[in-house]
Amino acid sequence: MRKIDDIIARMESLEKELAEAFEQAGGEVRYTIERKKVRFTREVKRQHKLLVKKWMAYVYESGFLMILTIPVIWGAVIPAVLMDLTVSIYQRICFPIYGIPSVRRGDFMILDRQSLSYLNWIEKLNCVYCGYFNGLLGFVREVAARTEQYWCPVRHARTPHSVHSRYRFFLEYGDAESYRERLETVRRQFDDLRAHKKS
């Protein structure tokens, strides 16, 4: 267990380092973030406007088959919005009863690429779609992870390809004694989230 904790600590440190590197790269493109709003230098804004592709040319270059896929892609919006609504209501009602800290949608829903002036209106719309959909999946995964920690905090016999944020707190597969002794402790083991919220 100690080895797993050490690996997780290193991963968290690397994730923080990666986030800082992304922010540094953003600075090289000459933008700042003030009150959650991105601000570019005047020169960068001017260059962006020169690089925008006319939407008709964009559509033409996309090709006929690509255009045919549009209803399939955009058809997923309806179930996505329903899932968003369902998960949001579920969390709001159930998490306080279970004593689980709620997940902030804003930590996952980052919609800012539509502000880029080098994108035409179709590209901006696509960027909003992708930002929403990927943010939604991250949000839903975190709600599901916290729910799983409460209701079934047992690791799988075969480790999944990608484990969620709460998996490290789960009990070992097949360890019945530990499950019975520690279930209630693990169900309430959200101190790391509460500490993060305060900082």
Question: If pLDDT is split at 50, 70 and 90, which confidence band does 1 have?
Answer: low
Whether residues 73 and 47 share a domain: the answer is no
What pLDDT does 28 receive?
A: 63
- Residue 173 main-chain phi, psi, to 5 deg: -60, 130
User: For residue 92, is it within any domain?
Assistant: yes
Q: How many CB atoms lie within 10 A of CB 150?
A: 19
Closest CA to 147 of 79, 199, 197, 86: 86
| Span 104-119, pLDDT tens digits | 999 999 898 888 889 9
What pLDDT does 27 receive?
A: 59
Examine the pLDDT at 188 and tell me if it is beyond 60.
Answer: yes
CA separation (Å) from 22 to 15, 27, 81, 107, 194? 11, 9, 30, 17, 26
What domain range includes position 16? Answer: 1-51
- Between CA 52 and CA 121 the distance in angstroms is 10
The pTM (predicted TM-score) of the whole model is 0.80
User: For residue 169, is it within any domain?
Assistant: yes
Examine the pLDDT at 29 and tell me if it is beyond 70.
Answer: no
Mean pLDDT over each residue of the chain, to the nearest integer: 87
Q: Which residue has the higher pLDDT, 3 or 96?
A: 96
For the segment 49-57, the average pLDDT, to the nearest whole number, is 81
Whether residues 19 and 69 share a domain: the answer is no
User: For residue 57, is it within any domain?
Assistant: no
User: For residue 87, is it within any domain?
Assistant: yes
| Span 138-158, pLDDT tens digits | 999 999 999 999 999 999 999
User: For residue 56, is it within any domain?
Assistant: no
User: For residue 60, is it within any domain?
Assistant: no
Q: How many CB atoms lie within 10 A of CB 143?
A: 21
Examine the pLDDT at 174 and tell me if it is beyond 80.
Answer: yes
CA separation (Å) from 93 to 76, 188, 191? 26, 17, 21
For the range 77-80, what are the long-range contacts, defined as Cβ-Cβ under 8 Å and sequence gap of 24 or more? 77/129, 80/132, 80/133, 80/136
Report how many domains make up the chain.
2
Examine the pLDDT at 42 and tell me if it is beyond 90.
Answer: no
Question: If pLDDT is split at 50, 70 and 90, which confidence band does 129 have?
Answer: very high
> Any residues with CB less than 8 A from the CB of 168 and at least 6 apart, and which?
4, 5, 8
For the segment 83-99, the average pLDDT, to the nearest whole number, is 97
Q: Which residue has the tokens 């689980």?
A: 100
